Each structure stands twice: as structure tokens, then as C-alpha cells.
Chain A
Amino acid sequence: MTTLWISILGVALASAAIKALGPVLVGGKELPPSADAVIALLAPALLTALVVTETFGEDGHLVLDARAVGVGVAALVLALRAPVLLAVALAALTTALVRAFG
């Protein structure tokens, strides 16, 4: 039980510290234009990595399973400008169907 509580408190403190660091250090200063250009590309880079790792990652290796089909369907309908909630629901439904009948 102690291991669990140490983990919980440690993660909460570390998470708060990580989130505080950027805003405290950078402060209200204006950033140089080159930094702005890099920061503008952070969102697409991070989002891509999150999609890739949560779709294909499984315990430290790459897998191609029902999730990939579900997320693929979501990408397709999003490209056709479907609303976000519909795309997310279709991803879950497709993944569940592939698992049930695949």
C-alpha cells in the first residue's frame, strides 16, 4: 500500500513542478521570432507523437491492431470535415467491432 501512495504523491508533485517550470522561467518576456516559429510547430509535432504512440504503441513495441483501424476511420471522416465527437465515437465503435468480429 505504501508503494502506491509514494507513487501517487510523487507523480502529483512532479507533474505540478513540470507544469510550473515553463511559465515561471519564461515569465512575461517576448520570445525571439525564431523561438516563436519553433513553438508554432510544437503542437503538430507533439500531437502526431501522441497519435502514433497511443495507436501503435503497446508495452514498448509497435503493434497493428483494432485501435489502428478505429483511429484510421476517425482520420478519414475528419479529413471529410466530420465533427470531432462523431469521429471519436466512430473510432471507439470501429475498434470494438473489429475486436468482436476481427
Chain B
Amino acid sequence: MPFALATFVLGISFGVLARSLGWGVVAPIVFSVIAFSGSAQFAVVAVLGAGGGALAAIVAAILLNSRFLPMGVAVAPFLKGGPLRRALEGQAVIDASWALASRGGGRFDREFMIGATLPQVAAWISGTVIGVLASDVVGDVERLGLDAIFPAFFMALLVDELRDGGQTIAAALIAAVLSLALVPLVPPGVPVIAACAGALLGLRGRSS
């Protein structure tokens, strides 16, 4: 899993960042273990680091992670068991695994998604541990260009999707325009949710 490597590096940068805000050693590691959500955890770092309160931090994280709602709906028909087991399997939905498990045409590979999530969670937690412990050694993550890793990684998944052509490209264009227009206007996280409206193009029937 090449993505586990990127997740590992991002985990390190989260650990370094959290430590630099005075979170200590235990809190960042506990956070990565029970939440394992890079985007939400970075959002909490940003809000608390800017002097915001717990409620603002939680709301920001919910807005960012609300993208897992449509993602969960999409994989739902392919999960197994009763409500409790399905709720548990739904925890395996993370951006990279969800996108990698997408088999096109709305189909998802359940085993592949869960199998892809486990090493990523391990990489995220171990990265956090190393970042927290080695924060003095690693230094500035931005100087190393590490903040470009995640958008580049999403770009890789997107380029794969776009090879389907037709409506896929149109939906991506709508999402690009919506998110660009909304970033300056609404709180972080909302543009990503609003961009899902691009997918409503599917209601117009298939042209590709």
C-alpha cells in the first residue's frame, strides 16, 4: 500500500503539529487511536491552535467528516450483517480506502476497503507516535513540502476516475467550480459537502 506511506508521513506531521501546540504526548496519540481521521484531527489542531473552543473544534470536524455520510450510503449495499456489524464495518470508510474500493458504476469491494483501511490506521497511529516523540528532529513539515502529499494523492485517485469520461468529467467540473466559489464564503468542510451536488448530474440519465 503506497498510500499507507503517505498516511504515515501525515501522521508524523500531525504528531509534530500537536506537540508544538502543547498537547503533550498522550493526547495526540489517543486522538489518532480513537478517531483515526486525518482531516478532522488537523481541523481540531487548526481551530484550537487559533484559540477556538471545544464546540467550534467539534463542529469543524463534523463538517469535514460529513463527507463520510454519502460515502457510507454508497458502500452500504455491499456491507454485511445486522445493524451493529454494519455500523462497525462502516468505520472502515476512509477517503483512500473508499476511493480505492470503488469498482465504478457505484459498485464497491467490501473486503478490499476493509483490507486497505487496516494498514492505513496502523500507519496513522504509528506516524503520530513518532511525530510526537521526534517533534524536535523532524522540524518544519511545510519546508519539506509534505502538505502537498494529500492533495496530490487525491489527484491520483481522481485521474483514475476521470478516465471513465462523460458524466464523470462533468460532475468533477461542477464540483471544482462549487468548491472554488465556496471556500472564501463558508466554514472549512462545507465546500466539500456542497460539491457533492455535482453527483446529482447522475439523475439526468447516463450519457457515457
Q: Which residues of A contact B (CB under 8 A)?
A: 3-12, 14-16, 18-31, 34, 36-57, 59-62, 66-67, 70-71, 74-75, 78-79, 83-85, 87-88, 90-97, 99-100
B192 close to A99 (CB less than 8 A): no
Complex Cα distance, B194 from A65, in Å, reads 24
Q: Tell me, rounded to whole Å, the shortest Cβ–Cβ distance linking B60 to chain A.
A: 9
B153 interface residue, CB < 8 Å from A? yes
Task: Tell me whether A20 and B77 are in contact in the complex, defined as CB-CB below 8 angstroms, given that A7-B57, A45-B195, A46-B67 are known contacts.
Answer: no
A47 close to B154 (CB less than 8 A): yes
Q: Which of B35, B66, B179 contacts A48 (CB 8 A)?
A: B179
A96 close to B145 (CB less than 8 A): yes
A46 close to B156 (CB less than 8 A): no
Which applies to chain B's interface (DSSP): helix, strand, loop or mixed? Answer: helix
Q: Which of A14, A67, A97 contacts B147 (CB 8 A)?
A: A67
B152 close to A96 (CB less than 8 A): no
A40 close to B192 (CB less than 8 A): no
Q: In B186-200, which residues have CB < 8 Å from any A CB?
A: 187-188, 191-192, 194-200
Complex Cα distance, B3 from A4, in Å, reads 29
Q: Which residues of B contact A (CB under 8 A)?
A: 2-3, 5-6, 23, 27, 30-31, 34-35, 37, 40-41, 44, 46, 48, 53-54, 57-58, 61-62, 65-77, 79-80, 83, 86-91, 93, 95, 98-99, 102, 104-106, 142-159, 161-162, 167-169, 171-176, 178-180, 183-184, 187-188, 191-192, 194-203, 205-206
A52 close to B54 (CB less than 8 A): no
